[in-house]
Amino acid sequence: MSTRRAGVGHRHPVWSAGGGGRAGRQGGRPLQVAPGPVPPPPALRREGGGRAQAVRPPPASMAAVLPALALRLARPPWAAVGALQPRRFLAAGVPFQYIVVEKKGVKQDVGVIQLNRPKALNALCDGLMHEISQALDSFEQDPHVGAVVITGSEKAFAAGADIKEMQDQTFQRCYSGNFLAHWNRISTTRKPVIAAVNGYALGGGCELAMMCDIIYAGEKAQFGQPEILLGTIPGAGGTQRLTRAVGKSLAMEMILTGERISAQEAKQAGLVSKVCPVDKLLDEAVSCAEKIAGNSKLVVAMAKDAVNAAFETTLAEGNKREKILFHATFATEDRKEGMCAFVEKRKANFTDH
């Protein structure tokens, strides 16, 4: 496996051309979901001795429907009746090829995904991204996991996409195959995801971090979108998420020049929420994830949904969605438990219901 790097010591992109091909499928057989109970038939009535006709109940009012609908939308899949069981991280005893997956925290309620292509500076090949998706699927279905941390090595979170794998792509293949569409899996995860970034987070690596809900950075981390220096542009959300995070002017400068920013500059611009010593970064990210996992997973999903709406809707629509979700919390046992615990001056015991 060869690695091509341009200007590690100065402000030019670090592009890895690792040769890793696609990894084999890691999941076992598809999980089977037991069918739910069959709903009872509607009541019947006869009119004038003729054929029996169904009598359906009158439609529920919107006031009654909206909280239930919001709960259904916000409830994570693992919390539903007849939910899927957690999937194993290893398929038939064979480990993932490009990532290392484990649980951390005192209660083992934090899922950790570590990118593991050190010779390629964790370049994001297709196989690696598929493995991340599989690991996230397992964590989503695990009722004990309340948050996920994605990290790399001290030298590189991810130095970009795998250029060797990408260089022979054509427009026709990119367009017809919707190239990079599956990279978006991280941003659709229902549980909160924290990026713990050390070293290089460039190109696809920066986009990967921005797909997460929270970014913690090591003191020596560097962020950038240097695709312009390769004759292309960001293709996994860089132009959109970076602009929303740091504003138009800085995003334009970074994307049009390929220049990087330091961890401290990233925090000042609003891209990251905390800068930590390099050797303490993962511990700090796991500690934050543990705090999140200690809350009601159901209500955490609602809160994440409400915050994300701020980036995807108008202020009026976002406020409307927030209100619906807020009202929906009053249909949960965890809201009742949380307020009772506060009044009784004790710690809440959430059950994710």
| Annotated catalytic residue, options 20, 146, 160, 204 | 204
Q: For this structure, is 204 an active site residue?
A: yes
Q: Which helix (H) or strand (E) holds 269?
A: helix 263-269
Q: For this structure, is 154 an active site residue?
A: no
Q: For this structure, is 235 an active site residue?
A: no
Q: For this structure, is 23 an active site residue?
A: no
Q: Alpha helices of 120-262 — where are they, by DSSP H? A: 126-141, 163-166, 171-176, 204-211, 238-246, 248-257
Which residues are registered as beta bridge partners of 113? Answer: 101, 150
Q: Determine phi and psi for 194, rounding to 5 degrees.
A: -110, 130
Q: Determine phi and psi for 215, rounding to 5 degrees.
A: -120, 120
Residue 48 in tokens? 């004038």
Is-contact 331 68, C-beta < 8 A? yes
Is-contact 210 273, C-beta < 8 A? no
| Annotated catalytic residue, options 227, 258, 294, 328 | 227
| Annotated catalytic residue, options 207, 258, 263, 328 | 207
Return d(Cα 338, Cα 279) in angstroms, integer. Answer: 36
- Name the nearest CA neighbour of 311 among 265, 232, 242: 242
Q: Amino acid identity of 197?
A: V
| Annotated catalytic residue, options 17, 123, 135, 161 | 161
Known catalytic residues are 161, 204, 207, 227
